[in-house]
Amino acid sequence: MQTLLESRLLSRLTPKKARLDAQRPLPRAAVARLVENLNLEWIYNSNAIEGSTLTLRETQLILEHGITIGGKSLREHFEVINHRDAIEFVETLARGDEPISPFHVRQIHQLVLARIDDENAGQYRRTNVRIAGAAHIPPEAFRVASEMEAWSVWLNSTASELHPIDRAALAQHKLAAIHPFIDGNGRTARLVMNLLLLRDGYPPTVILRANRVQYYRVLAQADREKNAPLINFVGRAAERSLNLYLDAVTARTRRAAKHSEWISLHDAAQGTPYSQEYLSLLARLGRLEAKKIGRVWHTTRRAVEAYRDSVKES
């Protein structure tokens, strides 16, 4: 299986995915609240990346109580509800085995733009566009339909040989690069990415608003056919979701061993040849297993030792 995932990241993802698969069917009670929270994160962050000013809490109030938030546009409210509906549709598609086609993409887009722009919802753009701030120029409008058919052929043939994360990340990028719709392309592309990941047994992967600048940077690199940064960016996001799921379904009968406890990078650097800043770089590159608790990176002593061992072997 072909992959551009960094070897250290891949060596963590593979056993974590296997551990999650071994727990299937996942206990409903254990994951119900997690799924709810992860979908909330997914909706909030995907909309925020595209410019929504709603906070996470405001997004939650709209979803759970139908509350209208003062000072926020009607469009922003519809973006929340629409994204929830699109996720439900994606989850339904993920349970099937029908090859993903341009028709499915248009169905997802129809839900994304419902009540916001009904005329263009689910319809390919009829005008040429430029992506603000990007050097990449999407294909002319008359070529969109044929480009989407080519995307579908690639997805269901050549891309099948790729690692699921490579396939999902590249499918998202290729779709965004075609820019088939007049609006809502980013949201639709990320929904399709997660549809593919869900089909392969991965949890939904959330691209965080806090990583927006890096996200656009790796997409721009993929525009120049440098795909590894994007694939590893998505891989690190996938690891975060795997960690959340494994924490939810793994029984805790005793306290974690000291070497497996999550500690700050400042503490983890003590007694090692690495500085806190270097560990932070490794964490951001996915070479060191780490996660953010609040805004602070944390890792384990075991993870640092694993990194040291990998350096000795290379």
Whether pLDDT at 133 is above 90: no
Residue 22: predicted pLDDT:
95
The answer to whether the CB of 203 falls within 8 A of the CB of 87 is: no
- The confidence band for 310, taking pLDDT boundaries of 50, 70 and 90, is confident
Calpha distance 26→32 (Å, rounded): 10
- Mean pLDDT across the stretch 240-265? 80
- Of 243, 238, 118, 129, nearest in space to 180 by CA: 129
Boundaries of every domain in the chain: 7-249, 259-313
Token pair, residue 40, equals 């909330």
Identify the bridge partners of residue 122 per DSSP, sorted by sequence position: none
Calpha distance 185→187 (Å, rounded): 6
The answer to whether the CB of 205 falls within 8 A of the CB of 237 is: yes
37-56 tens-digit pLDDT: 999 999 999 999 999 999 99
Calpha distance 17→279 (Å, rounded): 25
Token pair, residue 73, equals 């546009």
Q: Is 179 known to be catalytic?
A: yes
Residue 262: predicted pLDDT:
83
- The confidence band for 256, taking pLDDT boundaries of 50, 70 and 90, is low
The answer to whether the CB of 100 falls within 8 A of the CB of 155 is: yes
- The confidence band for 255, taking pLDDT boundaries of 50, 70 and 90, is low
Residue 252: predicted pLDDT:
60
Buried b (16+ CB within 10 A) or exposed e, 39-71: bbbbbbbbbbbbebebeeebbbbbbeeeeebee
Whether pLDDT at 72 is above 90: yes
Task: Dump strand ranges (E) for 226-277.
Answer: 263-264
Q: Which of 179, 259, 266, 298 is catalytic?
A: 179
Burial class (CB in 10 A: 0-12, 13-18, 19+), 193: buried
**CATH no. of 7-249:** 1.10.3290.10
- Mean pLDDT across the stretch 106-115? 98
Token pair, residue 71, equals 């000072």
Residue 254: predicted pLDDT:
56
pTM, rounded to two decimals: 0.89
Whether pLDDT at 312 is above 80: no
Whether pLDDT at 127 is above 70: yes
Residue 287: predicted pLDDT:
86
- The confidence band for 245, taking pLDDT boundaries of 50, 70 and 90, is very high
Coil, helix or strand at residue 271: coil
User: In the chain, what's the furthest Cα-to-Cα distance?
Assistant: 62
- Of 69, 25, 298, 49, nearest in space to 191 by CA: 49
Cis before 25? omega within 30:
yes
Whether pLDDT at 136 is above 60: yes
- The confidence band for 313, taking pLDDT boundaries of 50, 70 and 90, is low
Q: Which residue has the higher pLDDT, 71 or 282?
A: 71
Quick one: what percent of the chain has pLDDT higher than 70?
Answer: 97
Contacts of 232 (CB under 8 A, 6+ apart): 4, 5, 6, 9, 285, 286
